[in-house]
Amino acid sequence: MKKHTSRNPNFVSYVKSKIEKNYFSNHIGLTFDKIEEGYIEASAPFETFIQQQDGYVHGGFTSALCDIVCGFAGYTLVEEQQRVMTVEIKVSYFNRGIGQKIIGKGSVVKAGKQFFFCEGEVYAINNGEEILMAKATSTMAVIHKK
């Protein structure tokens, strides 16, 4: 993974302030386990409300987690008061998800002035085994303060 340098020396506290205000990620019980320049990890327990009718992780939860980790990975690199917003995302599903915990990993592949290209991965942790459920590619627009 390419090493990035944040445009904000206080990026950890800036990202944490954005996470606090993200009602959706708080509602679904995400815990942000790693915040590094260009990289985020978040996890959630395998609860019934994230399951579809057959007991596996719902695809909507999986794609939302991809979007969240890609977006917050982008937030680690912007200047204070800038934001990122998703302009496009593609999620590919590889395996059904079941287990005790779900982990999302997001990284910035290329950080441009106007757009960031990001990747996300979602894993199910089942009896200690990490199973890749999905991968995503996304483009995040950098929103500049007016």
3-state secondary structure string across 78-128: CCCCCEEEEEEEEEEECCCCCCCEEEEEEEEEEECCCEEEEEEEEEEEECC
- Three-state secondary structure call for residue 6: coil
Residues 82-126: pLDDT tens digits?
A: 999 999 999 999 999 999 999 999 999 999 999 999 999 999 999
Q: What is the pTM of this model?
A: 0.95
CATH topology classification for 11-143: Thiol Ester Dehydrase; Chain A (3.10.129)
pLDDT tier at 145, thresholds 50, 70, 90: confident
